[in-house]
Chains A and B, each alone.
Chain A
């Protein structure tokens, strides 16, 4: 050693110093941005919810009045379904369910479906998907108006057999060259509606889940 530090140790310390500098930088930036990021995430969820359910039609805090349910047998998906409950002066108005269609052409299609208290569909939106661009992606509202065809439907309108794409004898259009994506969406919305119809009472009465602080 001869009084001088071994070169390997010097190199190690130097790398450690650079890592420390990087850590300091990132800690600073994270402290600066994390509140705003959480806010942005919240705003986005609320935007999606309000696209289906106008903000004027309820007066509770949707983002906090939510529960999670799991029903793998019905939804055919192990992930819990988030249910946001809209109330006006504590009277149930509507629910918004974040369901996942497991059988898209390229895996999961995440949806947000809103039902009013009488079980009529207020609207459905695709939150995320990996369907083929140009073939399966007309399920997006930005690409086509197809997703609006769910509006005002209910379990009795059409009857159970009608909740399918036309090729399967149902009422909903499919797209040229793509039947799988719309079929998956129709099925998922129908399942959510079935669940809502069977559990309407308990869905509104269950205590809200404590909102998570960290990842909103």
Chain B
């Protein structure tokens, strides 16, 4: 069991990372990652949604009939997201104002219905919860990395606006990495998100390539073919 859970974690967070490999949920991924904190907040909200929706779908999977499973998933996910939206509105008001429309739009993140269909409806509650956590973690890490990259190049800071997530003391966390940064507009606007995501995908592929090449014989072209097959499998 422990081995299975570990495998789920690795699969969700790394091997089939939603943002970098499966490329689902790109709309929120690209839209809110102008700072690290924004990315982190949406990542956590998405992760929570994934866990609760996976758990609910898994618990109800005995009842669900194939012909109504998709509307049932949508109902469950929409309820969960609306509940999270209300809670954020009440307890993280500043953040809610910034993330605004992207909180309700978590519903449309295909990754969530994808995990409900592909995993939670076929597995028990515990593995499903783990799968939600792992997929959410992978997505959250991608959002945080992309947010950090864009904030650093665009503003020269990191963790700006942490007080919105953590309360007043969070404002001391803001790191000015590049003082007197003139502001790099391209990184802050949507094109910066595409460039940043492309860099992250490339970096992940490079890391993955190392991993796969090592056990293979040196000077072999085989590993490259393997790699291409691996990164595109679903």
Contacts and interface: CB of A to CB of B under 8 A. Distances in A.
A2 B75 CA distance: 31
A30 B87 CA distance: 9
B89 interface: yes
A14 interface: yes
Contacts of A40: 89-90, 93
Contact of B189 (A10, A19, A133): A133
A59 to B, nearest CB: 26
Interface stretch (B4-12, B17-25, B77-85, B171-179): B77-85
Contacts of A34: 86
| Chain A contact surface mostly | helix
B48 interface: no
Nearest to A39: B90
A14 B91 contact: no
| Chain B contact surface mostly | helix
A18 interface: yes
B83 A29 contact: yes
Measured as residues with beta carbon below 8 angstroms from the partner, the interface class of chain B is: 20 to 34
Contacts of A10: 65
* Max chain B Cβ within 10 angstroms of own Cβ: one of A11, A18, A36: A18
Interface string A1-45: 000000100110011001101110110011011101100100010
Given A33-B86, A40-B93, A134-B188, A18 B76 contact: yes
Measured as residues with beta carbon below 8 angstroms from the partner, the interface class of chain A is: 20 to 34
Contact of B91 (A7, A15, A21, A36): A36
Nearest to B68: A11
A14 B86 contact: no
By Cβ-Cβ distance, the 3 closest A-B pairs, closest first, are A22-B79, A33-B90, A36-B90
17 contacts: A10-B65, A11-B68, A14-B64, A15-B71, A18-B76, A22-B76, A22-B79, A25-B80, A26-B83, A26-B86, A29-B82, A29-B83, A33-B89, A33-B90, A33-B91, A37-B90, A133-B185
Interface of B: 60, 63-65, 67-68, 71-72, 75-76, 78-80, 82-83, 86-87, 89-91, 93, 183, 185, 188-189
